[in-house]
């Protein structure tokens, strides 16, 4: 059960104290307070855990200062959609960029940071095409221990400084250890916060619960959590809920394909038909990663790369974020060069995305007309 307080109720008010006292007296019920600080107001939600089925909703709703009470009808308490909670927000803003289930942000960038020249070429191209976001891998989880592991903290300062120079607002960056979060915070501090970071939980760490708890405990940076490549959707959505249960609900859910040879010759089996499913079950914006799903630049006789087909399929299904590998000189990329698009292809890629997005918007409008 979720109790949503009226926006003006302060923590030190008599109403707030009376509500908490009431809850403290309920047998076998624990509660957890979650505050969401928006630009205009603070939204306070109290989550009740325990035997809530027998609690009378009306009685709690009648308490002064309570706006409404939502019975949690589904899983994913914080991030899920529940019966009669349509008004609960699906969106969040970070560093001037809005993330929600109705818009689309493109994060084109380097799979792995290699050197400042390539970072600068990438960011310049991104900003010239009117984008505000990019991806920059500093900590790379690699299958082979002898493969390049990423420059780690050594590259953070120049990556953030160059981002500031080109007006990049958000960089998606994977972390595999809590120490990485500290290093990122420190580098942002040292460079004077020229940009923002969306912490990425990679598919290999989707169920690294201690990492999720740690990342969820910091509420400043949003989190992109990738679907685990060999677990069910439900398990991955529960992993996302770990982040929110610790306090950070600025969470984007990423689809990146499933590991099975049945997807051959693609690197993973593309699962973008789950975009609308995640939007139905949760309030998270949904990201697609065509690069790590398809894993190749191969194309078909129609002149389009599979990677662009997959992107369009995700966008036409309503995806809200695209994470895609580009590289100025793919042959020199230290990680995933063969699946990287070239800077000269960015304009084409974005135009293709626009076509797919327009098709999605037309489909939504048609569905709305049908509903009347
Ligand atoms: C990545 O985005 O760089 C990455 C390693 O992706 P995934 O965790 O989906 O394999
Ligand atoms: Mn990669």
The pLDDT tens digits for 187-210 are 999 999 999 999 999 999 999 999
Q: How far is the CA of 202 from the centre of ligand 2 (A)?
A: 10
Residues constituting the chain: 372
Mean pLDDT of 169-184: 98
Mean pLDDT of 96-103: 97
- Judged against a pLDDT cut of 90, whether residue 163 lies above it is answered with yes
Taking only the tens place, the pLDDT of each residue in 209-223 is 999 999 999 999 999
Which is it for strands 92-94 and 286-288: parallel, antiparallel or unpaired?
Answer: unpaired
Tell me what pLDDT residue 5 has: 93
CA dihedral 282, 284, 290, 294 (to 10 degrees): -30
Q: Tell me the two tokens of residue 304.
A: 């389009």
Q: Tell me the two tokens of residue 285.
A: 């914006």
Give residues with Cβ within 8 angstroms of 71, minimum separation 6. 1, 52, 57, 82, 83
- Judged against a pLDDT cut of 90, whether residue 87 lies above it is answered with no
Ligand nearest to the CA of 295: 2
Side by side, which strands form the sheet with 29-37? 29-37, 42-50, 2-5, 66-70
Domain boundaries 94-371, CATH class = alpha beta
- Judged against a pLDDT cut of 90, whether residue 35 lies above it is answered with no
Which is it for strands 92-94 and 251-255: parallel, antiparallel or unpaired?
Answer: unpaired
Question: Ligand 1 test: best mutation among 110, 199, 202, most atoms within 8 Å of CB?
Answer: 202
Spatial CA neighbour of 179 closest among 135, 133, 138 = 138
- Judged against a pLDDT cut of 90, whether residue 117 lies above it is answered with yes
Q: How far is the CA of 122 from the centre of ligand 2 (A)?
A: 16
How many percent of the chain have pLDDT more than 70?
99
Mean pLDDT of 302-325: 98
Q: Look at the pTM and tell me if it is higher than 0.75.
A: yes
Tell me what pLDDT residue 74 has: 66
Beta strands in 86-174, from DSSP E residues, in sequence order = 92-94, 97-99, 105-109, 133-135, 170-174
Higher pLDDT, 42 or 219: 219
- Where residue 41 falls among pLDDT bands split at 50, 70, 90? confident
Give residues with Cβ within 8 angstroms of 48, minimum separation 6. 1, 2, 3, 23, 26, 29, 30, 31, 55
Mean of pLDDT over the chain: 95
Closest atom, ligand 1, to C-alpha of 226 = 9
Taking only the tens place, the pLDDT of each residue in 243-286 is 999 999 999 999 999 999 999 999 999 999 999 999 999 999 99
- Give buried/exposed letters for 117-130 (b at 16+ CB in 10 A, else e): ebbbbbbebbbeee
Q: How far is the CA of 12 from the centre of ligand 2 (A)?
A: 48
Q: How far is the CA of 266 from the centre of ligand 2 (A)?
A: 14
Domain boundaries 2-71, CATH class = alpha beta
- Where residue 73 falls among pLDDT bands split at 50, 70, 90? low
Task: Give, in order, the Cα–Cα distances in Å from 316 to each of 186, 219, 320.
Answer: 39, 31, 10
Tell me what pLDDT residue 135 has: 98
The ligand 1 site (C-beta within 6 Å) comprises 111, 137, 174, 202-203, 226, 256, 289, 292
Tell me what pLDDT residue 85 has: 75
Q: Is the dihedral of CA 237, 322, 296, 269 positive or negative?
A: positive
- Where residue 90 falls among pLDDT bands split at 50, 70, 90? confident
- Where residue 42 falls among pLDDT bands split at 50, 70, 90? confident
Task: State whether residue 274 is helix, strand or coil.
Answer: helix
- Judged against a pLDDT cut of 90, whether residue 72 lies above it is answered with no
Tell me what pLDDT residue 77 has: 87
- Considering the chain, tell me which residue range(s) the CATH 3.30.70.1140 domain(s) occupy: 2-71
- Considering the chain, tell me which residue range(s) the CATH 3.20.20.70 domain(s) occupy: 94-371
* Among the ranges given (5-19, 32-46, 338-352), the one the predictor scored with the smallest mean pLDDT: 32-46
Q: Is the dihedral of CA 198, 199, 204, 206 positive or negative?
A: negative
Q: Tell me the two tokens of residue 59.
A: 């009685």
Q: Tell me the two tokens of residue 98.
A: 């809005």
Mean pLDDT of 90-98: 93
Q: Whose CA is nearest to atom 3 of ligand 1?
A: 111
């Amino acid at each position: 059960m979720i109790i949503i307080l009226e926006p003006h109720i302060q923590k030190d008010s008599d109403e707030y104290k009376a509500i908490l006292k009431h809850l403290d007296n309920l047998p076998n019920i624990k509660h957890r307070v979650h505050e969401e600080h928006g630009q205009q107001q603070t939204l306070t939600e109290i989550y009740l855990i325990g035997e809530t089925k027998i609690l009378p909703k009306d009685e709690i709703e009648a308490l002064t200062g309570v706006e409404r009470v939502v019975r949690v009808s589904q899983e994913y308490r914080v991030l899920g959609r529940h019966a009669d909670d349509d008004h609960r927000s699906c969106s969040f803003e970070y560093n001037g960029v809005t993330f929600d289930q109705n818009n689309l942000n493109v994060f084109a960038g380097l799979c792995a940071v290699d050197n400042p020249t390539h970072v600068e070429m990438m960011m310049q191209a991104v900003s010239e095409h009117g984008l505000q976001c990019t991806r920059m891998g500093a900590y790379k989880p690699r299958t082979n221990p002898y493969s390049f592991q990423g420059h780690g903290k050594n590259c953070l300062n120049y990556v953030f400084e160059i981002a500031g120079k080109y007006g990049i607002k958000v960089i998606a960056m994977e972390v595999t250890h809590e120490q990485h979060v500290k290093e990122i915070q420190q580098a942002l501090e040292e460079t004077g916060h020229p940009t923002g970071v969306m912490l990425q939980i990679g598919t290999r760490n989707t169920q690294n619960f201690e990492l999720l708890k740690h990342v969820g405990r910091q509420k400043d940076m949003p989190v992109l959590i990738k679907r685990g490549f060999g677990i069910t959707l439900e398990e991955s959505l529960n992993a996302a809920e770990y982040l929110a249960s610790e306090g950070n609900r600025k969470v984007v859910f990423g689809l990146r394909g499933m590991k099975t040879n049945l997807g051959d010759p693609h690197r993973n089996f593309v699962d973008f038909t789950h975009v609308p499913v995640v939007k139905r079950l949760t309030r998270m914006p949904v990201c697609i990663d065509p690069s790590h799903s398809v894993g190749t630049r191969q194309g078909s006789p129609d002149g389009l790369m599979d990677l662009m087909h997959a992107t369009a399929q995700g966008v036409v299904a309503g995806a809200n974020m695209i994470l895609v590998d580009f590289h100025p000189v793919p042959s020199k990329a230290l990680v995933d060069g063969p699946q990287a698009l070239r800077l000269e292809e960015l304009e084409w890629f974005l135009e293709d995305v626009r076509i797919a997005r327009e098709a999605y918007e037309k489909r939504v409008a048609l569905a709305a007309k049908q509903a009347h």
